[in-house]
Chains A and B, each alone.
Chain A
Amino acid sequence: MKKVVIILIGAIYIGSVFIVNFFGLQIDFFSSFTYQERIECNTITRFSGGMSGNTFEGRTDERGMKNFTVKFIDGEYTKDEEGLKTNPNTLRLDYRVYPDNATDKSVKIIAEESKYYVVDNTKATITVLDAPLGIHVTISSADGSNLSEKIYIIIY
């Protein structure tokens, strides 16, 4: 049998499973609400211009708080939209909400207001404008389960 024919049949075979799964399942109107049980943030990633860069692992200190140490890329940065877009010191918080089938996985990123950084709740990012700096961040559940994860980011 020709190679192309085998590949196409294989692709259609696998594709049929996805198509039925996306378009053919029962619609669940009255499913129960599953609350968040835990929020974890083990890494933060340098994130700029829509592309991911280096990833930084957190260290848990004596208080049980995760600490992240990030090098500041020197430069003159501004708070306006264009300035935030081109700033290479944007850090994305790689948090994970448990359980995986929690109904509402949204969170709030809470940090003290400062002229040295900007928090973006929708993208879960913090754009740093100057260093050295220490930022206390709380990632809090938004589904009413009253959970949070506190982290500390050291910019040097």
Chain B
Amino acid sequence: MTERVKEKGSLKRTLKNLITLVVMQLKEKMDLSYLGNFRKTLFKAVYFAIEFIVVTVLCYFLFYFCKVFKVFSLADDVPVSVVSLIFTLMLSLSVIFGTVGLVKALYLSRDNLVLLTFPASSSTIFLSKIIVYYIYELRKNFMFLIPFFVGYGVAQGFKIYYYGWILLTFLFVSLLPVLISALVSIPALFIYQGLKRVKALQYAVVTLGVLAIVGGVYYLISLIPQDINLQKNWGSIYWEIQGFLDGYTNAFALLSGLTELIVGKRIGTTYYIFNSSTLLYFGILAGTLILLTALCFLLSKPLFYKMASTPFEFKKKNELAKRKNVVRSPFISAVRKEISVGLRNNEAVNLFVLLVIIQPLAVELLNKLYSAMNTRFIGMQMTIAFNLLIVLLINLSSNITVASVYSRDGAASYLNKVQPSAYGTLLVSKIVINILVGFLGVVATTVIFGVFYTEIIGLPSVILFGVTVYSLFLAHLFWSAEMDIMKPQYEQYATFSEQANNPNENLSAILCFLISFIAFGIIMFLSLEGTFGAWIKICVLGIIFAVIKISSYFTKIGVFYVGRE
């Protein structure tokens, strides 16, 4: 396939093609079916408005309390540096996640082969992908960053035109992480491909990463003071915060300037949205965007075309070593296959690092912080309950991807029905890695938890803590898998390697938080009566919940898979 598609016709036709491609991709990735129905559209709009208002109100109260308690300033103010710091963190996260997403969407997506057959130039197709990502970024900003700035404006009493100005600036600001990610995706792709080819390098990078995390956590632990009492030591803490904010403003002057472009500058005693620096920063932003766009077209687009027109599935040389065929049971064979796939695409490795390494380290750091506080009885119960909450959140959040474990087979999902074994065998084999790694993670975390709390609550309670966490983990795991059986998203994964808005994953995420907070509430409430009794009760509840969800999972297999024959 040579790159000799000549762009015929006028600019109008190119624009029309671009719009068609963007709308087509958006229709595939997002559920826009509600647009045809007035009631559904109204419901979506109201839901969106409620979400926006809730986040704005939360942000407003956050700023309000910071002003009342004079956390960041002795005056009745929240300095722009605080807003800028949070804005920078969010932009950084957007760039990181955007890079990962764009590597998949631009270079490794299955829809590229289909899109390239359309009567549009490669530039148009590339631009359509960037625009689709930009629309996602804009939508994400409407969920948090824009309400965050609106909340700040309300707390500071800004004029009405500030709110219109936010919307205008965010049209440009949202493009920044997308373009940066598109550029960073180039080295990211090469690193990804290099690591994929050389397994030893992959394991070396993972090992180094893990060692860096462990080292980082122990360094943070060494910084923990002997007595953490924010109220008593507020004087020195306040000035340290001021010093940190000053240091941040000096180090990240451009990003501070970008924030000033949005919220304005304080001159004297008043904030002015439009001031002498507005044009300058807007010019810098516009210039940066133009430069990044040009670089994307110069660097990312040729790579996109090369990757998109290369059928990578058949390019790999298969060096098959001859081995004696060993007959195993269907279940073991399926599990071995899933482990191989999990190791090949690093999902198993990532899961292992998260649950068996990062989680116990996070718990150790948290409990070191708690140990530095002179807590009373209720404080001790709070620390135990927060341990349960955070461990559950980390464990259950690892199950969110299980809500698309069967859908990700895409067009190959029919294979689950043609294998000469029971459906349950094959379907369970896909979640065995999660079950095993989850178990190891819970054991490791319980050991760390036990180091801090065995003397306080006793070894039996510590063991019950582990059993509770694991039973809730299993319950959520099977529930997430059940969602994917009941409402699979095969069509989405058949054309796209990733779905941006899987309803099953969203529901699984909500359940993760719901289950974790309910367990937190129960243990806080029950432990006021007695620790061991509380753990017995919550453990029993967890086991019953797990049994219900596991049996429900197998029941659904019987209904949905037999029903679909």
Contact = CB atoms under 8 A, between A and B. Distances in A.
Closest CB pairs A-B (n = 3): A24-B379, A100-B235, A51-B269
Contacts of A8: 513
A1 B505 CA distance: 10
24 contacts: A1-B400, A1-B401, A2-B505, A5-B509, A16-B382, A16-B386, A19-B382, A20-B383, A20-B386, A21-B228, A21-B373, A24-B373, A24-B383, A50-B75, A51-B76, A51-B77, A51-B266, A51-B268, A52-B75, A52-B266, A52-B269, A53-B268, A97-B235, A101-B233
Interface of B: 73-77, 93-94, 97, 140, 143-144, 228-236, 239, 266, 268-270, 354, 362, 366, 369-370, 373-376, 378-380, 382-383, 386, 389-390, 393-394, 397-398, 400-401, 505, 509, 512-513
Interface of A: 1-9, 12-13, 16-27, 46-54, 88, 92, 94, 96-97, 100-101, 105
Contact of B269 (A7, A13, A47): A47
A78 B144 CA distance: 46
A13 B232 CA distance: 22
B382 A23 contact: yes
B375 A20 contact: yes
Contacts of B354: 1
Given A7-B93, A8-B513, 10 more contacts: A2-B509, A16-B366, A20-B373, A26-B374, A26-B375, A27-B376, A50-B75, A50-B76, A88-B269, A92-B75
Contact of A24 (B93, B376, B390, B394): B376
Given A13-B362, A23-B378, A26-B376, A1 B398 contact: yes
A127 to B, nearest CB: 13
Contact of B229 (A21, A51, A92): A21
A24 B375 contact: yes
Contacts of A46: 268-269
Contacts of A1: 354, 397-398, 400-401
A54 B268 contact: yes
Contacts of B140: 3
A9 B228 contact: no
B77 A13 contact: no
A92 B70 CA distance: 15
Contact of B390 (A3, A7, A12, A54): A12
Q: Mostly helix, strand, loop or mixed at chain B's interface?
A: helix
A27 B379 CA distance: 11
A2 B390 contact: no
A92 B77 CA distance: 15
Most buried by A among B75, B144, B239, B390: B75
Contacts of A100: 233-236
A23 B93 CA distance: 32
Nearest to A124: B74
B376 A48 contact: no
A101 B233 CA distance: 6
Contacts of B389: 12, 16
A51 B230 contact: no
A89 to B, nearest CB: 11
Nearest to A48: B269
Contacts of B266: 51-52
A21 B372 CA distance: 10
Nearest to A50: B76
Given A22-B230, A49-B269, A13 B366 contact: yes
B267 to A, nearest CB: 8
B390 A13 contact: yes
B390 A25 contact: no
Contacts of A9: 390, 393-394, 397
Given A24-B383, A25-B379, A17 B400 contact: no
